[in-house]
Structure 1
Amino acid sequence: MTETENLALFLDKLIEKNCSFAVWSMPGSQTPEILITDKKDLIYPDQFNKLNGQEGFVFAPYQIHAETPLVLLKPGIVKKGFEEILQIDLNEIEHSQQRRPSETQRLIIEKEAYLSDVEKTITEIKTSKLSKVIVSRLIPQARKSESIGKLYLQLFQQTPNAFVYLVNLPKAGLWMGATPEVLLKSEGKTLETVSLAGTQTRRTDSDYSWHTKEIEEQAFVSRYLLDVFYHFNIHPYTTQGPETLESGKVAHLMTSFRFSTKKLAHKLGDFLAELHPTPAVCGYPKSKAAKFITKIEKHDRRYYTGYLGPWRMNDSISLFVNLRCMEIMPDQYILYSGGGITARSVPEEEWEETNKKAGTLLSAIEAVQNT
């Protein structure tokens, strides 16, 4: 067997044992990393800013609730690379009896209902102080007898420019995704966050042109980040972009912001709490958009549009917004997808955008199911 096949089998056995673990790869990396931890080393901070002084792998929801807690996996077994991971002795890892989260049916809305929600959102934007709102939906896909380990590695191979992950946690469930969006990342003595919004189908010639709607949508996010910088007295900072970022089946507009880590010394958790959720996943102005989302969306976003990644492990931070993600249920996959609605939105086009975004995961599922 190849090392890829062996790793797929290894991940399947971890899931079978119901272990608490996270496996991931960084954008542009061909090296998977894993953290396996015991239930006593799972921490559930009740506020986002309580990550101050902690380290481990973070799996954060859109909003903290009893059913969707903020989870920190403290470092237990931590390995990097196929060879190191495959040297882990599975016999030394105990089967966990921890309960999985509620597996009640997730709310699926049909096309006409989604179009109606988008219409209502556009009307609200045109008649209020709202500028942008993200409206999401759930997309079900049948699960057969395919290996989840193979599915993860298929996604890992086909989306090299994304943060690709598989997480299994007792209170959160089994999740997989390939997200392109950095929330907060460190590199030496520099921190980086990005403004990412606007979507179009990926082109083979990389010759992109962007319309006013996408440019405005991305500008709202950039404006918000600068407001947060002002609040934390972050200056000077450097910017790069807007530029095109290709990921999976789509491309986005992105601007990077970099600044010194000294600016946040002991306030990283507070900064993160202020940053999340950004207008890229909520809307602008953020507080008004968040309130409107509670009215327009009938489903619970759970960990979709939350964030995840290594947090201060080896003095490094690599947090990503949880986009292009799915919850893995016993008989189906629940894909989460959304679109940024502005006054210029066209409902039918927004529906198609959610389908395009789901294409990254759907193509991986189809590839594994058809082998």
Structure 2
Amino acid sequence: MNTPTADTHLITQEEVLDRWLCSALEGGFQIAIWRAPKSNSVQLILDQTKEIKRVNLELDILPQGFIAHPFADQEDQKAFFLEASDYFKFDIDTPMTEAEDELYKKAKRSPTEIKGQVNQLLRKAQPEKNSFQFSSTSKSSFIEFVEKGIKAIQDGKLSKVVPARIQKVHLKDNFDLTKTFLELCQRYPDAFVNFFHIPNVGTWLGATPEILIKTEGLYFHTMALAGTQKAEGEDPVRNAAWKQKEIEEQAMVSRYIVNNFKKIRLREYEENGPKTVKAGNLLHLRSDFRVNMEATNFPQLGSVMLKLLHPTSAVCGTPREDSMKFILEHESFDRCFFAGFIGPVNIENRTAIYVNLRTAQLINEDVLLYAGAGVTADSVPEKEWEETTLKCDIIGKFIQ
């Protein structure tokens, strides 16, 4: 980084993001912005091709970019892909100089004008008709859905199912996308904070705690994250007490991963956990799995496991095919990218794909908050409703 002199104009991170967002929204381009867990760097890509691309899940042969896949598998199993026409990275804690911001010299307007344009364009980013296709899920209909899930489990048709709901809210008048993104980075240091916009497809903002697959150097990584309780007290992680329902729910996800390893005859893996982790105002149980791809002679493990794992039992249920069928039959809305997967591909020799949880879809003046709850034989419908309310609030409190 250049050392600033007395007469050097320093540019804030907020100004930088506003300029990139303005360039994308005005140009009709696709854009993805993210901050990886425990990182101080914001990264972004701008896809200027104006081509909505769908790609096969062969991660190792894709160019630099960002992938987004809906919850429900399409027949072709292809994902949306934003190709990196431009890639940019900057430190959250360190303002930049004019020379370091690629868009600074191109900007003909003041930072205030640019911010106003971003927030105005954001409200017009999607066709207006889309917002009328959704309404908030009523408490009674969600509880009825949970009760049907419990009965299916008691009848031996399922072991677990994950019903979801929508909370529709109005975007607050003074909503500022860049401020909100940077605030999410500050409040949720262990989450994958993200924003992505694909014209006429979707505009999403979130902070997800769950990695689906990651490949970096020689290693493949995935995790089993399930079980939920509210984080309370001065040291909630240390004082957490888990009930059998949550322990078994998390164990199902771990077994699901191990069973997929067995399908591809992979026996050499490290498993650590379960341990209690904090994600926003919630606690979860997590186990981590790691594989040396060179030692196992499996360089395509990331692509193979991505296809096998999604959708995991943490967002769908067990058995997967039966629980997916149950959800599609009884859920009154299309989850779209909620509980699908998103993340950067082949950026700085790393691919990190996350389950798209704790997320919100922005549609003009409305926001759709999505949340699901893992239902087992021991579930209490009222508590599952309360769990989804807590999950919606993780993003909702910043935008309404």
Matches within 5 A, 1:9-20: 9-10=18-19, 12-14=21-23, 16-17=25-26, 18-20=28-30
What's the counterpart of residue 27 of structure 1?
Answer: 37
What's the counterpart of residue 251 of structure 1?
Answer: 283
What's the counterpart of residue 205 of structure 1?
Answer: 235
Match of 1:218 among 226, 245, 250: 250
Matches within 5 A, 1:102-251: 103-105=130-132, 106-145=134-173, 146-203=175-232, 204-206=234-236, 207-251=239-283
What's the counterpart of residue 53 of structure 1?
Answer: 61
Q: Secondary structure at the match of 2:247?
A: helix
What's the counterpart of residue 6 of structure 2?
Answer: none
Q: 1:251 to 1:280 in 2, by over 3 A?
A: same
Deviates more, 1:104-113 or 1:272-281: 104-113
* Partner deviation per Cα, 1:279-332 (whole Å, 9 max, x = no partner): 011101111111111112111000001111112223311111000001001111
Superposed displacement of residue 232, structure 1: 1.5
Q: Which residue identity is paired with 1:161?
A: D
Superposed displacement of residue 12, structure 1: 4.7
**Residue 75 (str. 1) matches residue 84 (str. 2):** yes
Superposed displacement of residue 64, structure 1: 4.5
Q: Secondary structure at the match of 1:21?
A: strand
Where does structure 1 differ by over 4 angstroms across 4 or more consecutive aligned residues?
90-93, 98-102
**Residue 330 (str. 1) matches residue 364 (str. 2):** yes
What's the counterpart of residue 399 of structure 2?
Answer: 365
Q: Secondary structure at the match of 1:309?
A: strand
Q: Which residue identity is paired with 1:120?
A: K
Q: Is the 8 A contact 1:52 1:267 kept in 2?
A: no
Q: What is the TM-score with the length of structure 2 in the denominator?
A: 0.84
Q: Is the 8 A contact 1:115 1:348 kept in 2?
A: yes
Superposed displacement of residue 164, structure 1: 0.1
**Residue 88 (str. 1) matches residue 102 (str. 2):** yes
Matches within 5 A, 1:296-335: 296-335=330-369
User: What is the alpha-carbon root mean square deviation over aligned residues?
Assistant: 2.6
Alpha-carbon distance between aligned partners in 2 of 1:100 and 1:212, rounded to the nearest angstrom: 44
Q: Is the 8 A contact 2:206 2:359 kept in 1?
A: yes
Match of 1:289 among 298, 323, 348: 323
Alpha-carbon distance between aligned partners in 2 of 1:107 and 1:51, rounded to the nearest angstrom: 36
Superposed displacement of residue 183, structure 1: 0.5
Alpha-carbon distance between aligned partners in 2 of 1:16 and 1:43, rounded to the nearest angstrom: 18
- Which has the greater radius of gyration? 2
Q: Is the 8 A contact 1:133 1:340 kept in 2?
A: yes
Q: 1:91 to 1:167 in 2, by over 3 A?
A: farther
Alpha-carbon distance between aligned partners in 2 of 1:75 and 1:281, rounded to the nearest angstrom: 29
Superposed displacement of residue 19, structure 1: 2.6
Alpha-carbon distance between aligned partners in 2 of 1:205 and 1:169, rounded to the nearest angstrom: 40
Q: Is the 8 A contact 1:303 1:322 kept in 2?
A: yes
Alpha-carbon distance between aligned partners in 2 of 1:84 and 1:219, rounded to the nearest angstrom: 50
Superposed displacement of residue 90, structure 1: 6.8
Superposed displacement of residue 266, structure 1: 3.3
Q: Which residue identity is paired with 1:259?
A: V
Deviates more, 1:110-119 or 1:69-78: 69-78
Alpha-carbon distance between aligned partners in 1 of 2:80 and 2:259, rounded to the nearest angstrom: 28
Alpha-carbon distance between aligned partners in 1 of 2:193 and 2:254, rounded to the nearest angstrom: 25
Alpha-carbon distance between aligned partners in 2 of 1:320 and 1:336, rounded to the nearest angstrom: 16
Q: 1:138 to 1:290 in 2, by over 3 A?
A: same
Q: Is the 8 A contact 1:11 1:149 kept in 2?
A: no
**Residue 6 (str. 1) matches residue 15 (str. 2):** yes
Q: What is the TM-score with the length of structure 1 in the denominator?
A: 0.90
Superposed displacement of residue 139, structure 1: 0.7
Q: 1:231 to 1:268 in 2, by over 3 A?
A: same
Q: Secondary structure at the match of 2:346?
A: strand
Q: 1:128 to 1:84 in 2, by over 3 A?
A: farther
What's the counterpart of residue 369 of structure 1?
Answer: none
Aligned residue pairs total: 361
Match of 1:270 among 280, 283, 304: 304
